Amino acid sequence: MTATLSNSSASANPSATALRQTWDNSQFFAGTDDPAIATTTDQIKAAIADLRAACAPFAELIETADTLPAEKDAELIASIRNIHEQQKTLRKKLGNLSTYIYTALSVDTQDAHANCWMPIIQKLSADLSEAMTPYSVFLLRSSDRFIAAMLADPALAETAFSIHHQRKLKDQLLSVAEEQLITGLATNGLHAWGNLYSELAGTLKCQMKGDTDNTGDSDNSDDSNSTIGLAQAANLLSHPDSATRKAAWEGIRSAWREHQSAVAAGLNAINGWRLEETEKRAHTRKLHYLDKSCHQSRIERITLDALMDTTFQNRQIGHRALAAMAKALGQKQMNPWDTMAPAPAAGDQEFIHFDEAIALISDAFNQLTPEMGEFATMMARRGWIDGKPTANRATGAYCSKFYEPKEPRIFLTYEGTMTNVITLAHELGHAWHNWVMRDLSAIESRYPMTLAETASIFAETLVRDALMQRATTPAQQLEIAWQDAQSAAAFLLNIPARFEFEKRLVEARKVGALRPAQLSEMMNDSWKLWFEDSLSQYNELFWASKLHFSISSLGFYNYPYLFGYLFSLGIYAQQGTGPSLGPSDEQSNDFNQRYTRLLRDTGTMTAEELVQHHLQKDLSQPQFWQDSLSIVEQSVERFEQLVEQAIAQKAVNT
Residues that bind Zn ion (CB under 5 A): 456
Identify the three-state secondary structure at position 29.
coil
Q: How far apart are CA 73 and CA 49, in angstroms?
A: 25
Q: How far apart are CA 451 and CA 434, in angstroms?
A: 12
Say which DSSP state 244 is in.
H
Could you give the C-alpha distances from 424 to 78, 291, 411, 475, in angstroms and in order?
45, 35, 9, 22
Please choose, from the candidates 154, 124, 155, 159, the residue with its C-alpha nearest in 3D space to the C-alpha of residue 139.
159
Which residue, 208 or 412, has its beta carbon nearer to Zn ion? 412
| Least distance to Zn ion, CB of residue 397, Å | 8
**Residue 159 burial class via C-beta count within 10 angstroms: exposed 0-12, middle 13-18, buried 19 and up:** buried
Phi-psi region of 626 (alpha: psi -120 to 50; beta: other; left: phi over 0): alpha
Which residue, 331 or 395, has its beta carbon nearer to Zn ion? 395
Say which DSSP state 492 is in.
I
Which residue, 322 or 418, has its beta carbon nearer to Zn ion? 418
Give me the residue whose beta carbon is nearest to Zn ion: 456
Which residue, 106 or 456, has its beta carbon nearer to Zn ion? 456
H or E element that contains 403: strand 398-403
**Residue 68 burial class via C-beta count within 10 angstroms: exposed 0-12, middle 13-18, buried 19 and up:** middle
Say which DSSP state 444 is in.
G
Residue 510 burial (CB count, 10 A)? 11
Contacts within 8 Å (CB) and 24+ apart, 36-41:
37/97, 37/100, 37/101, 37/113, 37/117, 40/93, 40/97, 41/97, 41/117, 41/120, 41/121, 41/124
**Residue 35 burial class via C-beta count within 10 angstroms: exposed 0-12, middle 13-18, buried 19 and up:** exposed
| Least distance to Zn ion, CB of residue 453, Å | 5
Which residue, 190 or 421, has its beta carbon nearer to Zn ion? 421
H or E element that contains 647: helix 622-653
Q: How far apart are CA 168 and CA 281, in angstroms?
A: 13
Q: How far apart are CA 386 and CA 405, in angstroms?
A: 19
| Least distance to Zn ion, CB of residue 259, Å | 30
Say which DSSP state 605 is in.
S
Which residue, 456 or 596, has its beta carbon nearer to Zn ion? 456
| Least distance to Zn ion, CB of residue 426, Å | 6
Identify the three-state secondary structure at position 466.
helix
Residue count (the chain) = 654
Residue 512 burial (CB count, 10 A)? 10
H or E element that contains 398: strand 398-403
Q: Beta strand 385-386 with 406-411: parallel, antiparallel or unpaired?
A: parallel
| Least distance to Zn ion, CB of residue 632, Å | 18
Residue 403 bridge partners (DSSP): 406
Q: How far is CA 462 from the centre of its chain?
A: 20
| Least distance to Zn ion, CB of residue 457, Å | 7
Residue 529 burial (CB count, 10 A)? 16
Which residue, 244 or 456, has its beta carbon nearer to Zn ion? 456
Identify the three-state secondary structure at position 385.
strand
| Least distance to Zn ion, CB of residue 565, Å | 10
Instruction: Find out whether the peptide bond into 560 is cis, omega within 30 degrees of 0.
Output: no
| Least distance to Zn ion, CB of residue 471, Å | 24
| Least distance to Zn ion, CB of residue 275, Å | 31
| Least distance to Zn ion, CB of residue 432, Å | 12
Which residue, 296 or 649, has its beta carbon nearer to Zn ion? 296
| Least distance to Zn ion, CB of residue 430, Å | 6
| Least distance to Zn ion, CB of residue 519, Å | 30
Which residue, 32 or 456, has its beta carbon nearer to Zn ion? 456
Please choose, from the candidates 627, 578, 620, 571, the residue with its C-alpha nearest in 3D space to the C-alpha of residue 599.
571
8 A C-beta contact, residue 267 and residue 550? yes
Please choose, from the candidates 166, 157, 99, the residue with its C-alpha nearest in 3D space to the C-alpha of residue 139.
166
Which residue, 65 or 451, has its beta carbon nearer to Zn ion? 451
Could you give the C-alpha distances from 481 to 38, 74, 210, 414, 640, in angstroms and in order?
49, 61, 32, 20, 9
Which residue, 132 or 372, has its beta carbon nearer to Zn ion? 372
| Least distance to Zn ion, CB of residue 429, Å | 8
| Least distance to Zn ion, CB of residue 376, Å | 16
| Least distance to Zn ion, CB of residue 445, Å | 16
Q: How far apart are CA 385 and CA 21, in angstroms?
A: 6
| Least distance to Zn ion, CB of residue 336, Å | 24
Q: How far apart are CA 174 and CA 83, in angstroms?
A: 25
